[in-house]
Structure 1
Amino acid sequence: MVDPFMIKFARFPQKHALVIAVSAAAATSAQMTSAQATLEEVIVTAERRAVSLQDTPISAVALTGLTLDERGVDTFEQLQYQVPSLTFTDNGNTKYLNIRGVGQSESAPNQTTGVAVHLDGGYVAREFVYGDAFFDVESVEVLRGPQGTYAGQNASGGAIFINSTRPVLGETTGFASVEAATYDKKRMGGGISFPLTETLAARVAVDWEQRDSFYKNHGPDLATSPSRVEDQPGNVDRSFGRFQLLYSPSDRFDARVIYELSDNKTDGVPYKFLREPGTNNLPDSNVRDLNVDLDGHRNVSYDRGTLQINWMVNDAFSFKGNLSYLESDQHYLSDDDRGSPLTDPDAVQAGNDFKILDEYWTAELSLVSETDGPLQWTVGASFLDYDQKNYLNFYRYNHPDYPGTGLDPTIHTRLYLDLNTIRENQAVFGEVGYSLTDSLTFKIGLRYNEDEVGFGDSSYISAGPFPEGRPSHYNAPSGRPFPADELLSFEKTTGRVLMEWTPGDNSLLYGTISTGYKPGGTTPFANEYESEEVTNYELGWKGSLFEDHINASVAAYYMEYDQFQRTYSPDPENPTASVTRNVDGSTIQGIEAQITGVFGDFLWDVSFAYNDGEYGELEIVLPPGAADGVNPVGFETINLEGEPIDYLPETSFNFGLSYQGFEFGSGRLIPTVRVSYQDEYYTTFYHYDYNLTPSKTLVDLFLAYEADAGWRVEGYAKNVTDKEYISRAQGGDDGWGEYLLGNPREVGVKLRYSF
């Protein structure tokens, strides 16, 4: 989608990489003469070449960092309302990221997301560190549908490429910003690029934010003032820093080193029970009041280093290299029952105490042709070495087998998992494109993947309660090691076949068949499951109209979704054996469209998606009481064939309108309105109301003043109608569901100075 704020990308000739973005919001009024305003191209680099988005035969959305900032988007949760077909839910230690209903649908240490996220070209192997991705970024590219050639495994639903702002040779540029808003939000940040020598430049960027929770935790007693309770789930306290060096001794070579570190803290995820079993009805009042009695938190910190190399070897081809290393540390402590024994003395209490440590290397090397002839090619290889240590403690107390209301993790442990999760991937890929005529091009791309996945031989399971005096680190000799002597191996070839036709300078038609996959694996309970596979058939058109005052794109697709990885039991004789299995025969189809226009002083954009996904033949066993705590009275088998796919809104839509014509002093006032709609969707294939996330319409208002001297002051009201909406609903075997609410109305002001 071409940016409605007339995003213009410049490119160093030798880099073939996106390096700087200038929005119309930063342009002078003379540059914005309405009679001459036209939409300029957006450049994307996800396929290793710098190509206009309008010339890229993929259903995709690309937004610059400036546009994200102007729309108030700094998280994946907010991005979903800018990109139809994208859904995102922050579920604590798991983030559910899906495109066209494909990605990740449940929390499981053995599963990974099916949407491949790349940060500065390096693959992000798990979703834990997504929270800081949108600070000081140059652009975000969202590619919809399987990307099995360039993004590789775990891109069965699509891929997202996040590009941070590069240092600039020979000049000093940067920005500084401050923000204050309701809920005591405070945020400060900035970035500066500066030359060290003629061939060396650096960039430093820092960001800090604090905000109170949108909820009020009263602790054990609902009459207690939240101000007297230390833990307030949903609050924010985070800091982030990024340091870069760019070395470019000639027009044909540059190397970039990036180091970033982050510390992101909150008192936990503010889940709350719904009003009555079997429904998604919110409580009649105090929907944001909690009475969580256990200390909770979700602390995530990480260090990440990246090396990028771009080398024009000769006039025929260039070399591109990317090496990335990440270490992350996550500690997640939660009150799983969402309540207190003091308000219900007979209620069984439960909690979770998870510690997750990630460490992994990723690398990619590629050769890209640079000639202007009819033949274009790319070849490359990639590598992933991923190791994760999970310490998952599920505890229960105030229970006959786990007596006592004062939590003791040693004696109240009901299940402890010590998991060493291993993933390795090696792949080679390539694509060849040949122009049969001046307007007709054929491409074929292939990627061969070898994956090894499983658990290290130190992994084990131990069931509680533990005897008195068991060491607090839970290193139980009675723990049951599970089969982990050998990793499971998977091989798969993915890719695409593409035909594109440009009947004129302002029109592109394409048809493609593309495939993607997510490797299979095993669970802590020793069952094995196969790889997910997606095949996508897509037709699309992109073009410009009315002398480039309108840019548009539309794509229609049909996807065959096989061996969908989900946890369930199909056996009424063994109904509690719910483990990860495969679901065959599912299909997803839809239409996606983007239109962006400039008329006079008005800039506007519209995006839309219609998606229809259905399960294939699938029999599952429902436990007693799953519907409402009472029904069914016994285990019941149902067939979900034809039922909707999870995390797939049937309709999603967003619209933006900005007026650029109010001249005021040495600058101008810019009012903007944005409207987003997302249809309802289920979060599991147990299709009860308490698993249904309802539809929602959100309205955001912005009023900015931009001065020619580089200042921008903006007032905003997000969710201006203060709509009370569920951002995630999920249920349990006892019929009680729980919910997370989306953000309430936020009113604030931002000040930014760019130089």
Structure 2
Amino acid sequence: MRLRSCWLGVSVLALLSTGQAVAQSVPADPGASTEQAESPAPQQGDIIVTARRRNENLQTTPLSGSVLSGTDLANKGVSSVDALQFATPSVVVNNFGQGIDFNVRGIGKGEHNTQTATGVITYRDGAPTFPGYFAQEPYYDVANIQVLRGPQGTIVGQNATGGAVFVNSNDPIIGGGYRGYINANVGNYSDVGVQGAVNIPVSDTLAARFAVYGQRRDGFYDITGPGGSKYTGNNGDVRQIAGRFSLLWKPTSRLSILSKTDVDYLDMGAYPASPFTNQFRYLPVGSTTPNPNYRDLFDITANSPQEARDKFYRSILRVNYEFDNGIQLRSVSAYASGNTKYRSDLDGTATANRTFFDSVDERQYSQELTLISPDTSRVSYLVGAFGVWNKYDFKSPYQFVIGAPLGNPLTEYRLQGINPNRSLAAFGQLGFAITPKLKVEVGGRYTTSRSRNDIDVLQYGTPIVAEQKTSSNDFSYKASLGWEVSRDHYLYGFVATGFKPGGLNVPVGLGNPAPFGAEQVTSYEAGWKANFLNRRIRTSVSAFYNDYEAFQVTIGNPTIPVFGLQVNVPGKTKIYGIEAEADVKFGNLTFDVGMNVLRSELGQFFATDPRILAVAACNVNTGPASVSCRNLKGVDQSYAPNFTFNVGASYEIALGGGSTLTPRANYGHIAPQWATLFQNRALGDRLEARNIVNAQLAYNRGTVTLTAYGTNLTDQHYPAALNSGLYFAGSPRQYGLKLLKAF
């Protein structure tokens, strides 16, 4: 569903953008997914990725990616999706709670709505997660997170234009005995949290694992009501609880069955925000006239009740059977169902009376079936099929409401109904070792997707019925060449395509607007991966160039520009850049660094900024150009900063008696970025650079670790996102203590 004035209804703030529960991420039982646990142990220093349904050494695989272990997550302060942008290159996250804008290399999702598919797919334990809502699911008891950059999906899972993120939780360990951990933390803003996990041996073929997570924290905001009175609503007090139960059964050496069930109740309290103009010291912009409403991002006024709550459950069943000839048959099934509820002060002030409320159910089922050849022969192959069925249920009676004021039928926009989506695919890959060190791989995938609107709208008292369908079909491919020059040097190159399906626009006024089409990207990449000084230094450098066709954007509706309309850019968009990563380990010193330099150029098309009064008609293809109808050719893609950088270091100091003291520091930089394609500084479109410094000091003795931690130590107050004329703040400085006990 999409309309410009609903931007806050389907999206909320990234309160956790610097890892507000940093003390919650701990290296539980050092991790392995089932695929990794059943494989030979890697050599010291090797990083194993399983995203392509094989166990592959990242340093000799033709892809660009980063892998963060559970220990890395704790050391870098990564406890939610938002913090990934400060720990890995090329990632930018603008999280609005109910929706998420997650871009990799400038590609992903720059529009926070439900009907636009995401170009970056997130998987939990091998299954795709909800594509629109429920973005605040915490990271706890995680084995590793694998972030793959560039088009994905020709081999596994859903198709993606920007990348994929695989979050793998710790599995039960058969024969591992009773083992686990408990971790507790306290911090400022009355932050109290706890998490833990235990491995439970049931028999010599069956084991279970139970993990829990909980947190309560007061809000960051100072909110006043009308006339300076006390605000009685919620200011973002967090109350979260989650649990995961896992069972691993291996009745024979060839068959393994793993089930995982997650249950989450995530009450974020609210997502307060304020008009972007409150951040300008002078108005109008460029003048010397002081702005009487200038105030800090966390100093907010409001007169509407606010709430933000997600609750859901997800069950995953993964079955793997190995035949006598070494061929594996793998099945990954998943079902998830949840409800998201959001209420906001849509104008962000205590004087106006624009409000929003929604309660939306979402359910999703996915199934993947894959046949995988062994890696021991010269020729390898993989074939499979995938399907995902997702449905949004905008609950009745009309529990999606924009009101100005609420309760007045002449000024309300109400919506109810369903938006079901389906995507089916068949995929395969063939690999051939030309020599033991030179390998070529070719993969292909055919995808067919469809979406349907079956909704009712009450627009200013006028009933509107929208019953529409749209479909998209695509064949994607990837061809790569990898050369292991020596034990320590690997070169690769590939060309790959990616696909994101089209969708439907919500009716505004009379008639149903036209659907928007699918978008495609063709990516060219070359890279060099190397090890130096007896593998104490591991590096990766890559260069990429993307031709992006039919880019999906939201512009002003040509008929009624105050509303949004999803369209495809007719011209070709170009996105290109370079990436580099390095990991260094010398004795007790560890050091890591990552960077990305990016350039994006939007293809030619004309659009009306819905925030500015239109003075003439505006055709996407022909314009004509005017004060309100702009030619956007060559502008930067939204949420695509031209530089990202992250660096971290730690040093373990032996204190004697088996005790150690380890200081750690991490820094993440996201360059300034544009929040919209219209790039109007006077309307708040330029988001300032994010410079986040985190640090820890950990004392370890035996099975006990006490850590003092701090996030955003410089206390940078920065807008994490712009939405509907409102700025949402990133998390301020947080600090505290955490105590970990392993057993």
TM-score (norm 1): 0.87
* 1:212 alignment partner, one of 179, 201, 218: 218
Q: Within the alignment, does 1:373 sit opposite 2:377 as a pair?
A: yes
Aligned to 1:17: 36
Aligned ranges 1:506-525 → 2 under 5 Å? 506-525=488-507
CA offsets per residue over residues 104-130 of structure 1, 9 Å max, x none?
Answer: 112233112111111111111324223
Q: Within the alignment, does 1:549 sit opposite 2:572 as a pair?
A: no
Distance 1:691 1:315, change over 3 A: same
Distance 1:154 1:316 in 2: 28
Aligned to 2:154: 149
Distance 2:238 2:27 in 1: 33
* SS at structure 2 position matched to 1:128: coil
Aligned to 1:678: 670
Q: Within the alignment, does 1:744 sit opposite 2:742 as a pair?
A: no
Paired amino acid for 1:100: R
Contact residue 420 and residue 455 of structure 1 kept, 8 A: yes
Distance 1:21 1:699, change over 3 A: farther
* 2:334 alignment partner, one of 308, 324, 342: 324
**1:601 Cα deviation from its structure 2 partner:** 2.3
Q: Within the alignment, does 1:489 sit opposite 2:468 as a pair?
A: no
Paired amino acid for 2:440: F
Aligned to 1:174: 180
Paired amino acid for 2:696: F
Distance 2:343 2:603 in 1: 37
Contact residue 200 and residue 209 of structure 2 kept, 8 A: yes
Aligned to 2:361: 357
Paired amino acid for 2:572: G
Contact residue 377 and residue 433 of structure 1 kept, 8 A: yes
Aligned to 1:621: 608
Aligned ranges 1:414-453 → 2 under 5 Å? 414-453=412-451
Distance 2:171 2:142 in 1: 9
Contact residue 441 and residue 499 of structure 1 kept, 8 A: yes
* 1:192 alignment partner, one of 195, 198, 217: 198
CA offsets per residue over residues 316-372 of structure 1, 9 Å max, x none?
Answer: 30111100000010111111011223xxxxx4x211111111112101010111141
CA offsets per residue over residues 190-225 of structure 1, 9 Å max, x none?
Answer: 00011111111100011000111111222334353x
Distance 1:278 1:362, change over 3 A: farther
Aligned ranges 1:64-143 → 2 under 5 Å? 64-143=69-148
Contact residue 9 and residue 43 of structure 1 kept, 8 A: no
Q: Within the alignment, does 1:605 sit opposite 2:597 as a pair?
A: no
Distance 1:397 1:615 in 2: 35
* 1:461 alignment partner, one of 457, 460, 464: 457
Paired amino acid for 1:395: I
Paired amino acid for 2:719: I
Distance 1:211 1:21 in 2: 43
Aligned to 1:48: 53
Paired amino acid for 1:248: K
* SS at structure 2 position matched to 1:80: helix
* SS at structure 2 position matched to 1:528: coil
Q: Within the alignment, does 1:502 sit opposite 2:473 as a pair?
A: no
Contact residue 28 and residue 197 of structure 2 kept, 8 A: no
**1:268 Cα deviation from its structure 2 partner:** 1.8
* SS at structure 2 position matched to 1:315: coil
Distance 1:361 1:517, change over 3 A: same
Higher mean alpha-carbon deviation, 122-131 vs 602-611, is at 122-131
Q: Within the alignment, does 1:705 sit opposite 2:705 as a pair?
A: no
Paired amino acid for 1:606: V
Contact residue 153 and residue 519 of structure 1 kept, 8 A: no
CA offsets per residue over residues 538-562 of structure 1, 9 Å max, x none?
Answer: 0011111111110000110000111
Aligned to 2:13: none
Aligned ranges 1:679-694 → 2 under 5 Å? 679-689=671-681, 690-694=684-688
Q: Within the alignment, does 1:534 sit opposite 2:521 as a pair?
A: yes
Distance 1:600 1:256, change over 3 A: closer
**1:315 Cα deviation from its structure 2 partner:** 2.7
Distance 1:221 1:577 in 2: 32
Aligned to 1:299: 309
Aligned ranges 1:695-734 → 2 under 5 Å? 695-707=689-701, 709-730=702-723
Aligned to 1:28: none
Paired amino acid for 2:188: T
Distance 1:195 1:635, change over 3 A: same
Paired amino acid for 1:328: G
Higher mean alpha-carbon deviation, 604-613 vs 720-729, is at 720-729
Distance 1:370 1:279 in 2: 63
Aligned to 1:580: 566
Paired amino acid for 2:729: L
Gaps of 5+ in 2: 1-25, 615-625
Distance 1:646 1:196 in 2: 52
Distance 2:194 2:359 in 1: 30
* 1:389 alignment partner, one of 379, 390, 393: 393
Aligned ranges 1:253-272 → 2 under 5 Å? 253-272=255-274
* SS at structure 2 position matched to 1:135: coil
**1:493 Cα deviation from its structure 2 partner:** 0.8
**1:152 Cα deviation from its structure 2 partner:** 4.7
**1:664 Cα deviation from its structure 2 partner:** 4.3
* SS at structure 2 position matched to 1:66: helix
**1:395 Cα deviation from its structure 2 partner:** 3.2
* SS at structure 2 position matched to 1:96: strand
**1:649 Cα deviation from its structure 2 partner:** 1.2
Paired amino acid for 2:133: F
* SS at structure 2 position matched to 1:361: strand
Distance 1:279 1:79, change over 3 A: farther
Distance 1:190 1:574, change over 3 A: closer
**1:575 Cα deviation from its structure 2 partner:** 4.5
Distance 1:635 1:354 in 2: 36
Contact residue 615 and residue 642 of structure 1 kept, 8 A: yes
**1:182 Cα deviation from its structure 2 partner:** 0.6
Distance 1:624 1:133, change over 3 A: closer
Aligned to 1:233: 235
Q: Report the number of matched residues.
A: 687
Contact residue 681 and residue 692 of structure 1 kept, 8 A: yes
CA offsets per residue over residues 24-45 of structure 1, 9 Å max, x none?
Answer: xxxxxxxxxxxxxx96112110
Contact residue 97 and residue 134 of structure 2 kept, 8 A: no
Contact residue 397 and residue 412 of structure 1 kept, 8 A: no
**1:18 Cα deviation from its structure 2 partner:** 4.7
Contact residue 27 and residue 70 of structure 2 kept, 8 A: no
Distance 2:76 2:546 in 1: 32
Contact residue 239 and residue 269 of structure 2 kept, 8 A: no
Distance 1:413 1:93, change over 3 A: farther
Distance 2:39 2:30 in 1: 6
Paired amino acid for 1:640: L
Distance 1:389 1:288, change over 3 A: same
Contact residue 270 and residue 307 of structure 2 kept, 8 A: yes
**1:700 Cα deviation from its structure 2 partner:** 1.4
Q: Within the alignment, does 1:754 sit opposite 2:742 as a pair?
A: yes
Q: What percentage of aligned pairs have identical amino acids?
A: 27
Contact residue 563 and residue 610 of structure 2 kept, 8 A: no
